[in-house]
Amino acid sequence: MIITRSPVRISFGGGGTDMPSFYEKHGGAVVNITINKYFYSFYNPREDGKIQMISSDFQSLLSVDDFYSLKFGEGFDIPSAVIKHFRLYHGFDLFTASEIPPGSGLGSSGAVTVNMVRLCSKLKNETLTQRQIAEDAYFIQREILNLPIGKQDEYAAAFGGLNFIEFSEKDVFVEPIPIDPNVYKRLEKNLLLFFTQKTRQASKILKRQEASIKENDTSVIAAMIEVKKNAYRMKESLEGGDIKRFGSLLDEAWTFKKRMSPDITNEYLDRIYEIAMQNGSLGGKIAGAGGGGYFMFYCEEEKQENLRNAMEAEKLGFLDFNFSEKGVTILNNGNSL
């Protein structure tokens, strides 16, 4: 058996500027960090050439006679696309499971694709760098599956940790953000995630956003430029240990992000955000593309009980987490290979 694990991420700022329609002209920048919530795949070879995939998250099964029988549109598009890309002709069983629900806004699709790329590269005895894993995962989703995605989720899952990532037409630069260990711990304690109980299809939001960019919608582009600038300010505040300013910058980021697409927020999400701000939060944002999933809030410890009680009263589920410094990893009895 081969067990592969990849982390999901929290995007602090710059989300959306990692889309090629934007960064190829204006440049992009994001700040994100991976957390200890993972996507897992469990691989076992078979002797009969059949491929069987089981998804715990979607409670679904796909069984085909051989590699050539794999098709898209049957609920296993990402694994099938990666398997086809790497030409895994032999038979195997694959079981997949995630610690967070799909459509959560925590970059789960990127984590899935990076996971499968790492697994398949090992099976083909190909040594890929973290960058190559991220780029392969992006290519498979963007060019093979035609998903309107950016690159930050793939780079986050491949590299792991707290990173400032810049995107240009020709390259991607991943810069780990140096941060004092005590500041790191305080930041970890002061960030809270709450599940809205509503998942969403990010592709719909991103397609509309990408269309606005291509149509040169000046209001959307102006908002995205401000989101990008905000990411640089976040980086500076973290490097300087000023996490209270970082909390306020999350509020600023949310203000700009909402201008990028009318689908990012709604009356319900706006009300939840306002309640959080009234109960101790300095700032926050909906995770990922928007529309649902997890809300992240920055709240200092002495005010967190009020915030948690307020969110509980609104039926939002609290997610306990820690930061994770490792990207995609192959496990064997709990040890890295």
User: Encoding tokens for residue 171?
Assistant: 């390259």
**Where is 309: in which H helix or E strand?**
helix 304-313
Q: If you write DSSP's letter for every residue of 42-104 in order, what string do you get?
A: EEEE-SS--EEEEETTTTEEEEESSGGG--SSSS-HHHHHHHHHHT--S-EEEEEEESS-TTS
Q: If you write DSSP's letter for every residue of 179-197 in order, what string do you get?
A: --HHHHHHHHHHEEEEE-S
Q: Cα–Cα distances in Å, from 212 out to 168, 219, 288, 293, 296?
A: 20, 9, 18, 23, 26
> Which of 299, 283, 330 minimizes the C-alpha distance to 133?
330
Rounded to 10 deg, the angle between the 267-278 and 304-313 helix axes is: 150
**Where is 12: in which H helix or E strand?**
strand 2-13
> Which of 130, 127, 120 minimizes the C-alpha distance to 7?
130
Q: Is the four-CA dihedral 167, 155, 60, 91 of positive or negative sign? A: positive
Q: What are residue 296's phi and psi, to 5 degrees?
A: -110, 135
Which residues have CB under 8 Å from 279's CB, separation 6+?
303, 306, 307, 309, 310
Q: Active site includes 153?
A: yes
For residues 247 and 276, give the distance between their C-alpha atoms in angstroms, rounded to a whole number: 13
Contact between residue 137 and residue 129 where contact means Cβ atoms under 8 Å apart: no
Q: Which candidate in 66, 153, 263, 270 is catalytic?
A: 153
Q: Which residues are known to be catalytic?
A: 153
